């Protein structure tokens, strides 16, 4: 494997006008015949050879214009096939054999239980046939699938089904035609014995679409929520962006064996079953939310990704950042906008900010990769969505919509770049976005400093904004970026003040910082105004203000922007925790500050005004979030210190607010049947949060959890209780786990939860338990969901037990990574990333992690996936 660079991008020398495939499925292998209609581009310069990607393909035949080529006329190496001498226009026929049953990497065509399915993005199609496997080569596809009719009654590919044929020996065949030219990464094929839930959708353009969700027969009763979500997404995209679906069928297939969440193949999405299957007995509120947003995300790709695709993989954020932005907007409209914003920012800080501050830091448009699959990152996706959101904020919603229209008008049916998108937004809005483009090329999270000064005589308030963009690996001395900063001011009474800014009176302002430092003047200001900055988190930066505890308490109580209410609470809590950690280090006695207790008490007392927001404010940061906070402050992370201090705070608050938590636990019950709707989700969240706090009380903790378990009548409540019970050394906790696994042993997704809660237990013997569970019949290293549920959960969701002084859990992870390296490098690469922040830790953890990384690095022939991550971490 070698590095790929954006600066080396060249268009392909050939045109591909049509792709015809014939996929013949046999007992233990699959034969793939492919016919490509190729011609050399007129402007292709000198007449070089033809190169096609192809990996792990057994060649059976290669013919050019109907003439069988002898082995001397082509060259096969580990990357693909080279034909040295080809005419200007020709048809190329290849016949290869592949072995899906042996494909444990789950990339290309592979076996998933009883079915066969594909995953081609980014570069998996080359494991199916010889092909120009690059996104800027687009062609209409005609695909014939042939298989045993009993074993594989359902045969699916992209586009529209054409003729079906019954053949000898119990075989049958079906032809699919996809009229929309597409790159190979959007190809899909599924064969199996599957149940199908059907529905219909009439598009605004008058097309009647058949909606089909395919699953294993035993899961047929769990597709209703996914179907409902799909219809909502189709309707929303017509309403908000004027975009309709364009084929007569839209199919979704759910499989338990999938490397990531889902895949937007044209007309035939393939999903990890966790983002399709749900009913109240088996799925939690979070699962229901996840399904609604991932179904929407993949559907939205039909326009942002498929109709307009990427010219090369460096442009990935063109489709991913934009589609995440679209799914965020969808969820905001379906559920609660302010809540969605808080959750998205929380996840941005938990995943993207650390990435941007670590060894894997890269701009949202990366400039180099060894393995493309390593760049499906929080940066490309979530920071990419923030960048789109900033454009939306700066040019306004109407211009943004015009920009989208223009983007499709210009580029429909093409493979384009991030630059093309920004240019459309620029042209539609008339706003100069030249400096803004730095967001695409500069990595790192900017730091924004804000301070205010009042000129009492003139009643002018000066707000100074100053930015710094930190160095990241390979990038230093960066330029100031464009930062949209939504701002308001509050009086001491909590009223939103009207001030004059640039001659106009208003009570909310959009400030756009374009230089290193700028002073903004507001007229008509009185004393004591409290600034509410970066409202709705209008730019993905670290904001540093000098607001006092009193000001923060005011914003927490009165800000009209829910995000900044939550944020004020966050800053208060984090400030307290940082102070306590300093006391802990200096061996001073720890005290719970009265002001924080009072502020949280008030939120809790008034929780019924907005239970969802209250629940967000009253969920303390996780230990992992505190590691990130320390790392951002450049304080070496000591896991026992974080654990000790956070527990101190949890126990004290639980005790002091006990009565309020008890009341909340009773008040926020949701009587009646389970319904997935925002009000009920919020009530369950508050109730189960109360249960969490009550579980911290020394004598009654377990009893309260156990009673909640006995009363639970949906998976949300059952999991809430079970995930608290596992921390206790009580025989009844074991009985709960046993009962749960007996009830759900046949349900793979619910068993994932069962593995996960045990991996997250705070009991000191958890690593031992995790190792033992690896031998459980329901566990498999070959199933990514199981690896994530057990090993992933322990290593990244249980940081106190993972970061042990003797480094034994690090050795455990290193061994798992090496196993995965030969089974499934993509999953292995995600797992090894847990070590990325090793340099932010104190000793001995830091050196112990370095040792584990070096042990992995010393293996010869590591996959490029793991080699790249480990190399950068150590580099």
Q: Measured from the CB of residue 230, what is the shortest distance to ligand B3K in angstroms? A: 14
- Is residue 257 within the footprint of ligand B3K (CB under 6 A)? no
Residue pair 260/295 in contact by the 8 Å Cβ criterion: no
- The span of 29-37, 142-150, 315-323, 396-404 binding Zn ion (CB under 5 A) equals 315-323
Q: Which of 121, 298, 329, 616 is catalytic?
A: 298
CA–CA separation, 799 vs 808, rounded Å? 13
* Phi and psi angles of residue 707, each rounded to the nearest 5 degrees, phi first: -65, -40
Residue 492 and residue 440: Cα distance in Å, rounded?
Answer: 40
Alpha carbon distance 718, 596 (integer Å): 31
Find the length of the chain.
Answer: 875
User: Minimum distance from CB of 376 to ligand B3K (Å)?
Assistant: 5
Among 13, 133, 289, 298, binds ligand B3K (CB under 6 A): 298
In angstroms, the Cα distances linking 638 to 14, 177, 360, 794, 851 are 57, 58, 22, 18, 18
- x/- track of binding to Zn ion for residues 317-346 (CB under 5 A): ---x--x-----------------------
- With CB under 5 A as the contact rule, which of the stretches 45-53, 234-242, 312-320, 553-561 interacts with Zn ion? 312-320
Among 216, 264, 344, 420, binds ligand B3K (CB under 6 A): 264
The residue written with tokens 């079915």 in the block is 115
What tokens appear for 724 in the block?
């608290």
**Smallest separation, CB 125 to ligand B3K (Å):** 12
Backbone angles phi, psi at 372, to 5 degrees: -55, -35
Number of Cβ within a 10 Å radius of residue 69 = 15
Indicate whether 373 belongs to the interface with ligand B3K (CB under 6 A).
Answer: yes
Q: Of Zn ion, ligand B3K, none, which one sits near residue 386, judging by CB under 5 to 8 A according to partner kind?
A: none
Q: Please say which residue, 147 or 324, places its beta carbon nearer to Zn ion.
A: 324
Binding of ligand B3K by 529 (CB under 6 A): no
Q: Is residue 270 part of the contact set for ligand B3K (CB under 6 A)?
A: no
Contact flag: residue 263 with ligand B3K (CB under 6 A): yes
Between 600 and 639, how does the x/- string for binding to ligand B3K read (CB under 6 A)?
A: ----------------------------------------
Distance of CA 208 to CAs 204, 211, 246, Å? 10, 10, 10
Q: Which stretch binds ligand B3K (CB under 6 A): 262-270, 623-631, 648-656, 854-862?
A: 262-270
The distance of closest approach from Cβ of residue 552 to ligand B3K in the complex, given in angstroms and rounded to an integer, is 37
Q: Does 869 bind ligand B3K (CB under 6 A)?
A: no
Q: Does 312 bind ligand B3K (CB under 6 A)?
A: no
DSSP 199-261: EEEE-TTS-EEEEEEEE-GGGGGG-HHHHHHHHHHHHHHHHHH-----SSEEEEEEES--SSS
Nearest residue (CB) to ligand B3K, 54 versus 305 = 305
Three-class secondary structure of residue 61 per DSSP:
strand
Closest CB to Zn ion among 174 and 188? 188
The whole-angstrom distance between residue 752's C-alpha and the CA centroid of its chain comes to 19
Q: b/e per residue, 383-421, with b = 16+ CB within 10 A?
A: bbbbbbbbbbbbbeeebbebbbebbbeebeeebbbbebb
Least Å from the CB of residue 121 to ligand B3K: 4
**Site for ligand B3K contains 376 (CB under 6 A):** yes
Residue among 13, 178, 257, 320 that touches ligand B3K (CB under 6 A): 320
Q: Does 297 bind ligand B3K (CB under 6 A)?
A: yes
Choices 87-95, 233-241, 314-322, 665-673; region in contact with Zn ion by CB under 5 A: 314-322
Binding at 373: pick from ligand B3K, Zn ion, none (beta carbon under 5-8 Å per type): ligand B3K
Q: How far apart are CA 71 and CA 1, in angstroms?
A: 25
Asked if 656 is an active-site residue, the reply is no
Nearest CB to ligand B3K, comparing residues 152 and 325:
325
Give the DSSP H/E element, type plus range, for residue 262. Answer: strand 262-263
- Closer to Zn ion at the Cβ: 376 or 563? 376
The total of other beta-carbon atoms located within 10 Å of residue 550's CB is: 10
Residue 49 has a CB neighbour count (10 Å cut-off) of 12
SS3 2: coil
Q: Choose among Zn ion, ligand B3K, none what residue 260 binds, the Cβ cut-off being 5 to 8 Å by kind.
A: ligand B3K
Site for ligand B3K in 115-154 (CB under 6 A): 121-122
**Distance between the two ends of the chain, CA-based, in angstroms?**
18
Q: List interacting residues with ligand B3K (CB under 6 A).
A: 121-122, 260, 262-264, 297-298, 301, 320, 373, 376
Q: List interacting residues with Zn ion (CB under 5 A).
A: 320, 323
Q: Which residues are catalytic?
A: 298
């Amino acid at each position: 494997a070698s590095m790929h660079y954006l600066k080396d991008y060249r268009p392909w020398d050939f045109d591909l006008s049509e792709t015809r495939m014939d996929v013949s499925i046999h007992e233990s292998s699959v034969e793939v015949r492919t016919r490509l209609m190729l011609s050399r581009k007129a402007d292709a310069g000198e007449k070089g050879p033809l190169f096609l990607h192809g990996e792990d393909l057994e060649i059976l035949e290669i013919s050019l214009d109907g003439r069988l080529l002898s082995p001397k006329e082509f060259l096969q190496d580990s990357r693909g096939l080279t034909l040295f001498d080809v005419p200007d226009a020709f048809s190329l026929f290849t016949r290869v054999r592949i072995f899906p049953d042996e494909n444990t990497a789950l990339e290309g065509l592979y076996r998933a239980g009883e079915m066969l399915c594909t995953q081609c993005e980014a570069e998996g199609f080359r494991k199916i046939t010889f092909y120009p496997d690059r996104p800027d080569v687009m062609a209409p596809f005609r695909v014939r699938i042939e298989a045993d009719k009993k074993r594989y009654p359902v045969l699916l590919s992209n586009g529209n089904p054409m003729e079906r044929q019954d053949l000898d020996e119990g075989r049958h065949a079906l032809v699919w035609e996809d009229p929309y030219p597409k790159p190979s990464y959007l190809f899909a094929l599924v064969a199996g014995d599957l149940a199908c839930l059907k529905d219909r959708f009439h598009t605004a353009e008058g097309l009647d679409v058949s909606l089909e969700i395919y699953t294993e027969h035993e899961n047929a009763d769990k597709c209703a929520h996914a179907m409902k979500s799909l219809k909502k997404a189709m309707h929303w995209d017509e309403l908000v962006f004027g975009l309709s679906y364009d084929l007569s069928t839209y199919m979704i297939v759910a499989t338990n064996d999938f490397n990531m969440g889902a895949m937007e193949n044209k007309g035939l999405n393939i999903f990890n079953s966790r983002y399709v299957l749900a009913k109240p007995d088996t799925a939690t509120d979070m699962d229901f939310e996840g399904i609604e947003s991932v179904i929407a995300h993949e559907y939205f790709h039909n326009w942002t990704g498929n109709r307009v695709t990427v010219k090369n993989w460096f442009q990935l954020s063109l489709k991913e950042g934009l589609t995440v932005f679209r799914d965020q907007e969808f969820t905001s409209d379906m559920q609660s906008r302010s809540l969605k914003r808080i959750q998205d920012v929380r996840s941005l800080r938990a995943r993207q900010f650390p990435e941007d501050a670590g060894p894997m830091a890269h701009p949202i448009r990366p400039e180099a990769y060894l393995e493309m699959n390593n760049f499906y990152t929080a940066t490309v996706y979530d920071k990419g969505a923030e960048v789109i959101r900033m454009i939306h904020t700066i040019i306004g919603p109407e211009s943004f919509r015009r920009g989208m229209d223009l983007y499709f008008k210009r580029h429909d049916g093409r493979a384009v770049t991030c630059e093309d998108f920004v240019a459309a937004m620029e042209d539609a809005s008339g706003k100069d976005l030249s400096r803004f483009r730095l967001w695409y090329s500069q990595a790192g999270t900017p730091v924004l400093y804000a301070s205010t000064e009042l000129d009492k005589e003139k009643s002018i308030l000066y707000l100074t904004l100053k930015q710094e963009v930190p160095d990241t690996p390979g990038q230093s001395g960066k330029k100031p970026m464009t930062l949209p900063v939504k701002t308001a001011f509050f009086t001491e009474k909590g009223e939103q003040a009207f001030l004059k800014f640039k001659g106009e009176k208003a009570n909310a302002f959009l400030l756009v910082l374009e230089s290193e430092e700028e002073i903004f003047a507001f007229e008509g200001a009185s004393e004591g105004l409290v600034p509410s900055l970066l409202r709705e988190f209008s730019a993905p930066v670290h904001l540093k203000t000098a607001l006092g505890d009193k000001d923060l308490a005011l914003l927490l109580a009165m800000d009209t922007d829910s995000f900044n209410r939550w944020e004020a609470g966050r800053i208060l809590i984090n400030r307290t925790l940082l102070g306590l950690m300093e006391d802990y280090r200096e061996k001073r006695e720890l005290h719970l500050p009265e002001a924080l207790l009072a502020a949280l008490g008030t939120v809790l007392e008034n929780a019924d005004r907005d239970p969802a927001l209250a629940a967000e404010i009253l969920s303390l940061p996780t230990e992992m979030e505190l590691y990130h906070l320390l790392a951002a402050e450049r304080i070496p992370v000591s896991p026992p210190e974080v654990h000790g201090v956070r527990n101190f705070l949890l126990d004290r608050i639980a005790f002091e607010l006990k009565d309020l938590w008890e009341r909340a636990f009773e008040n926020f019950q949701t009587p009646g049947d389970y319904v997935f709707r925002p009000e009920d989700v919020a009530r369950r969240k508050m109730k189960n949060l109360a249960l969490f706090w009550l579980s911290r009380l020394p004598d009654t903790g377990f009893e309260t959890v156990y009673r909640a378990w006995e009363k639970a009548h949906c998976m949300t409540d059952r999991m809430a209780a079970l995930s608290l019970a596992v921390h206790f050394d009580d025989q009844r906790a074991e009985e709960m786990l046993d009962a749960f696994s007996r009830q759900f042993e046949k349900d793979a997704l619910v068993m994932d939860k069962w593995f996960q809660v045990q991996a997250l237990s705070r009991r000191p013997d958890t690593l031992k338990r995790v190792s033992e569970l690896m031998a459980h019949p329901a566990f498999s290293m070959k199933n990514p969901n199981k690896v994530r549920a057990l090993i992933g959960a322990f290593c990244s969701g249980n940081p106190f037990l993972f970061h042990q002084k003797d480094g034994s859990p690090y050795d455990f992870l290193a061994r798992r990574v090496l196993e995965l390296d030969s089974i499934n490098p993509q999953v292995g690469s995600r797992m090894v990333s847990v070590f990325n922040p090793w340099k932010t830790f104190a000793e001995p953890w830091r050196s112990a992690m370095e040792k584990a990384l070096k042990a992995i690095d010393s293996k010869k022939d590591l996959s490029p996936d793991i080699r790249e991550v480990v190399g950068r971490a150590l580099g």
